[in-house]
A and B are shown apart, each in its own frame.
Chain A
Amino acid sequence: MATEAHGEATGLSFHPMDQFIVRPLFGDGPVHWYTPSNVTLWLFAIILATLALLVLGTRGRGIVPTRTQSIAELSYGLVHKMVGDIAGKDGLKYFPYIMTLFMFVLFANFLGLLPLAFTVTSHIAVTGVLALAVFLSVTAIGFIKNGAHFLDLFWVRSAPLAIRPVLAVIEVISYFVRPVSHSIRLAGNMIAGHAVIKVFAGFAAIAAVAPISIIAVVGMYAFEILVAFIQAYVFTILTCVYLKDALHPSH
């Protein structure tokens, strides 16, 4: 999986992975843990976008909403309904956390689609921390709310007794794989989409292929807009499912 491959004969140069490099925002020094980097910049862009939509957009507090306010209300309603439907009434207590996650992933994905942008959700360091946070807090909630009964999640009572131990092993493994799949799914989608767009764009250097290349980029871009929303939605809905398992562990 080469980051950079130079086709010297054709003059083509592909750098599909360069867009993911973490750089210091100022100067060329090493990236320490405190260095303001392009990650920092885009993380705060996400905060500003969320502020613009959810806070600035609703400043009128209108009974009849403005356009921005209705989008804010729509996203509120979407996540609120999702939490209520999947995790149940007692899951609504965690609605602010899940809403924060949704807005973060949504704007990270969308802002990452801007030209020259950096996609924070394309890094497993970021999605991994998010998924681990969900995993750990959900597990903690499960044990605090249900005590030892939380382990019922792994003991499938509807199955015959003989195969329950086998199922338990499988359930435990699948439980611990959750944060991995949860994070890799999001980061993988983002990496793949952005890399493919970059590769298509690289072909535009050949005049004969350029129109096809541009059409392909446009098509991919439209597809990526869809993926950006769907992945944010999927990430949130999986969080709700995990939360439901923690609140109601019995099968």
Chain B
Amino acid sequence: MISLLQEAATTAAEHTESVASSVAHGETETTTGLPQLDLSTFANQIFWLVVAMVVLYWVVAKIALPRIGAVLSDRQGAMTGDLMAAEEFKLKAKEAEAAYDKALADARAEANKIVAANRAEIQKELDAAIAHADAEISARGAESEKRIREIRDSADVDAREVARDVAAELVRSFGGTVDQAAVDQAVDSRMKGALQ
């Protein structure tokens, strides 16, 4: 490659000889037009390039890249950690929601149970009260009926008494003798139809 460049340099030099000879080149001793083809500076460029590349490689490979790589992996780690934590929190939130739902359902069931129990109790009391009232009512009714029957019976007896007395008096006042048995029989037979 170097020989190729040299060849190019010499041909370039031939072509530009007339121009180059008329121009003073100052500090550079080149005879070619293109500074890139000035072989006298190659050693200098290559030497300093090698030095610079060694230093640059050291800077990049030993300081810069490990540091940037560490920063990037740290960030990746932090992001992964955060995402995992978020996932965990989400799971916890879900659990909490489920627990809340369950507590709510439990409370509702409990409330229903209490309501049902209360209702049953009240119903029982109510039934008892109604039964009691019914018993009372029927007892009172029976008593009233008994009283009515008594009254009716006594009225029957009274009426029979009055009728017997009245009949005896009527018989006496017409001058007859009172046959008590006949009177009783007559009264009884008349009363049979009237009462009852």
A residues neighboring B (CB under 8 Å): 1-5, 17-18, 20-24, 28, 30-37, 39-40, 43-44, 46-47, 50-51, 54-55, 58, 61-63, 65, 69, 72-73, 76-77, 95-97, 99-100, 103-104, 120, 122-126, 128-130, 132, 179-180, 187, 191
Is the beta-carbon distance between B65 and A33 smaller than 8 angstroms?
no
- Out of A1, A96, A128, A129, name the residue touching B60 (CB < 8 Å): A96
- Across chains A and B, the number of contacting residue pairs, with CB separation under 8 Å, is 167
Give A185 to B38 CA distance when docked, in angstroms.
19
Is the beta-carbon distance between A33 and B50 smaller than 8 angstroms?
no
Closest CB of chain B to A119's CB: distance in Å?
11
**Extra 12 A-B pairs, beta carbons < 8 Å, given A33-B46, A35-B44, A47-B52:** A18-B35, A21-B30, A22-B35, A34-B47, A46-B56, A51-B59, A58-B64, A100-B56, A103-B60, A130-B49, A132-B1, A179-B1
Q: Given A31-B44, A100-B56, is A50 in contact with B64 using a C-beta cutoff of 8 Å? A: yes
- Residue of A with least CB distance to B65: A96
Give A245 to B56 CA distance when docked, in angstroms.
26
Chain B residues near A37 (CB-CB < 8 A): 41, 44-45, 48
Chain B residues near A180 (CB-CB < 8 A): 1, 4
Give A133 to B9 CA distance when docked, in angstroms.
23
**Which of the candidate stretches B72-80, B101-109, B146-154 sits at the interface with the other chain?**
B72-80
- Out of A99, A125, A130, A191, name the residue touching B65 (CB < 8 Å): A99
Is the beta-carbon distance between A39 and B44 smaller than 8 angstroms?
yes
Q: Given A23-B28, A76-B65, is A124 in contact with B52 using a C-beta cutoff of 8 Å? A: no
- Out of A4, A61, A100, A128, name the residue touching B71 (CB < 8 Å): A61
Chain B residues near A50 (CB-CB < 8 A): 56, 59-60, 64
Chain A residues near B70 (CB-CB < 8 A): 61
Asked whether B112 is an interface residue with its Cβ less than 8 Å from the other chain, the reply is: no
**Which of the candidate stretches B12-20, B164-172, B180-188 sits at the interface with the other chain?**
B12-20
Closest CB of chain B to A205's CB: distance in Å?
19
Is the beta-carbon distance between A96 and B44 smaller than 8 angstroms?
no
Is the beta-carbon distance between A3 and B15 smaller than 8 angstroms?
no
Q: Given A1-B16, A43-B48, A76-B69, is A54 in contact with B60 using a C-beta cutoff of 8 Å? A: yes
- Out of A2, A28, A35, A43, name the residue touching B52 (CB < 8 Å): A43
Chain B residues near A99 (CB-CB < 8 A): 60-61, 65
Is the beta-carbon distance between B33 and A72 smaller than 8 angstroms?
no
- Out of A28, A76, A100, name the residue touching B68 (CB < 8 Å): A76
Closest CB of chain A to B62's CB: distance in Å?
9
Give A129 to B50 CA distance when docked, in angstroms.
9
Is the beta-carbon distance between A22 and B33 smaller than 8 angstroms?
no
Is the beta-carbon distance between B64 and A55 smaller than 8 angstroms?
yes
Give A67 to B49 CA distance when docked, in angstroms.
30
Closest CB of chain A to B57's CB: distance in Å?
5
Closest CB of chain A to B69's CB: distance in Å?
7
Give A5 to B33 CA distance when docked, in angstroms.
11
Is the beta-carbon distance between A104 and B67 smaller than 8 angstroms?
no
Residues of B71-91 whose CB lies within 8 A of A: 71-72, 74-75, 78
- Residue of A with least CB distance to B52: A43
Q: Given A28-B27, A63-B78, is A43 in contact with B60 using a C-beta cutoff of 8 Å? A: no
Closest CB of chain A to B18's CB: distance in Å?
9
A-B contact pairs, 12 of them (CB 8 A): A3-B20, A23-B27, A33-B43, A33-B44, A54-B68, A55-B64, A58-B68, A63-B71, A100-B60, A124-B37, A125-B41, A125-B49
Asked whether B42 is an interface residue with its Cβ less than 8 Å from the other chain, the reply is: yes
Chain A residues near B33 (CB-CB < 8 A): 1-3, 17
Closest CB of chain B to A35's CB: distance in Å?
6
Closest CB of chain B to A30's CB: distance in Å?
7
